[in-house]
Amino acid sequence: MPPSSFAALGIDDVAVAVYRHVVAGAGAADEGGSAAAPTAGAVARAVHLDEATALAALERLRSLGLVQRSAGGGGYGAVDPRVAVPAVVAARADALVEVRAAVPELGELFDEGRRPHDADELTRVVVGQAAVGDWYSQLEHRATTDFVAFDRPPYVVASNESTQRVALGRGVRWRAVYTVASISADGSWQGVHRLGAEGEEARITHDLPVKLAVADRRVALVSIGHDPGRPEALVTESEPLVAALYDLFEARWRSALPVPGAPGAGEPAVDWAEVAARLAASTSASAGWPVPTASSAGGATTTRDEEARLASRPPTPAERDLLALVAAGATDDVIAAQLGISSRTLRRRLHALFDELGASNRFHAGVEAARRGWV
C-alpha cells in the first residue's frame, strides 16, 4: 500500500514511514533472543528524523491501535497489521456514518441562519388541500384594496361566493381570469355572472399556466404543481416576486376576453382584432358546419336602413354569452351546457347570429361582432 493511502486514516507520510519501520522490525531479535522493541531514538535514526518527531508519530500510531508500547520500557512494537489496520478502517467508517447522519441537522442550521428573523417568513411552500385552501381563504380575507386571481382546475376547496361578496362590499377591486375549463361544470357560467353583478371584473381565456391569487400586491399564492391529490403552492411576501406575479396577471388579463356584462368589460385594453381572429378560428375548429351567407339563407336581402338598425342595436345577453364562449375556445358541448340548450339549438342560434351579422365567412363574423362591440 502506498503511503498516500493511509491519509484516509489520518496518518501522514512521516507516520507512515515510522509505522513501516516498526512493522518491519517487529520480528527482529536482540542478542539475547528476545524480540526487539525499537525506541523512539532508534526509530528516529532509522528514518532520519529528530527524536521528538519520531516520538509524536509513534504516539499517534499508538492512539490508533496500530502499535503498542512495551511494559516498563520505551520500546514500541507493531500490532499484527492484518488485525489492526482493518480495525482502524472500520472505526473510521463508523465515524463517517455518524458524520453523514448529522447532515440533515446541519442543513437545518444552515437554512435557519439565512431565514429572516421576523415572525413570518417571506416565502414558504405549502402542501396539501387543507393548507393550500386555508392560504387562499386568508388572502381573500386579508385583501383591503385589490385582489387578482387566475381561476383554473384542479380545485382544492369549493368556491365561496359569500367571502368574495364581503370583500367586494368593503371596496376591494376584484379581478379574475377564468379558463374554459373553469366554467365547464353546469352552472359555473351563471356563477361568474352572479359575481359580476356583485362587482367582480372577469375575463375568460383558453388556458392558464398556474393558479394564482395576489392580495393588495403584497402577498401571493401561486401553484407549483397540479396534482389534485397533493396540491403544492408557494406563498410569498417577497416584493420582487409578488411584483413579477402581478405583472404576469396583467399580461394575461390584457389578452383575455371580457365576460359579457361584467364590470370593466368594455375597457379599451382589449385587442378586438385579436378577439375577432380568435372567434373565427375557434368557431372553425369547434363547429363542423358552414356559416351561411346572406344569399344562402333563402336569398333574403336587407335594406341600408335595416342594416343600420341591426348594427346599432345592442346584443342580447344570450348573444354576448354565446360569442364570448365561442371566442374563448369552449366546445359546442360546453357552450350548450352553460346556456342550457341542446347542441342542435346552439347550431341554429349561431347560424341565425352569423346571418344577422351579414358575414360571408367566420373571420368576417368575428370582425363584425367586435366592430359592433358585441364581444
Mean pLDDT across the stretch 190-196? 81
Higher pLDDT, 135 or 262: 135
pLDDT 10s digits, 255-297: 888 877 666 655 544 454 555 555 555 544 444 444 434 333 3
pLDDT digits (tens, 9 = 90+) for 27-73: 444 444 455 678 888 888 988 999 899 889 888 888 888 888 887 66
Are residue 358 and residue 308 in the same domain, yes or no? yes
The pLDDT of residue 149 is 94
Which of 145-154, 247-256, 350-359 has the least mean pLDDT?
Answer: 350-359
Q: Are residues 97 and 128 in the same domain?
A: no
Phi, psi (rounded to 5 degrees) for 39: -85, 170
- 6-10, 67-71, 83-87, 232-236: range with lowest mean pLDDT: 6-10
Q: On the CB side of 195, how many CA atoms lie within 13 Å of its CA?
A: 26
**pLDDT score of 145 more than 80:** yes
> Quick one: 253 and 165 in the same domain?
yes
The per-residue pLDDT for range 328-353, each reduced to its tens digit, is: 667 777 777 777 788 888 778 877 77
**What pLDDT sits at residue 7?**
78
The residue that leads in pLDDT, 6 or 373, is 6
Of 360, 370, 339, give the one whose Cα is nearest residue 290. Answer: 360
- Average pLDDT rounded to a whole number, residues 187-206: 82
Question: Quick check: is 276 in a domain?
Answer: yes
Measured CA distances, 179 to 34, 182, 270, 366 (Å): 94, 5, 17, 20
Of residues 284 and 149, more confidence is placed in 149
Number of domains in the chain: 3
pLDDT of residue 264: 63
* Residues 254, 142 share a domain: yes
Please give the pLDDT value at position 265: 55
In a domain, 267, yes or no: no
Q: How far is CA 69 from the centre of its chain?
A: 64
- Asked whether residue 107 is domain-assigned, the answer is no
Q: What is the pLDDT of residues 309-324, one digit of tens each?
A: 555 567 777 777 777 7
- Name the nearest CA neighbour of 213 among 149, 131, 164, 167: 149
- Whether residues 254 and 278 share a domain: the answer is no
Neighbours of 200 (CB within 10 A): 26
What pLDDT, on the 0 to 100 scale, is given for residue 57?
87
pLDDT reading at 15 higher than 60: yes
Which pairs from 224-231 meet CB under 8 Å and 24+ separation? Answer: 224/125, 226/154, 228/154, 228/156, 230/127, 230/128, 231/127, 231/128, 231/129, 231/132, 231/154, 231/156
Owning domain of residue 32? 3-101
Task: Give pLDDT, residue 269.
Answer: 47
Q: State the alpha helices, DSSP H only, in 256-287.
A: 272-286
Instruction: Cell numbers for 294, please give them.
Output: 346572406
| Position 77 confidence tier, pLDDT thresholds 50, 70, 90 | confident
In a domain, 72, yes or no: yes
* Residue 263 is assigned to a structural domain of this protein: no
Residues 231 and 130 in one domain: yes
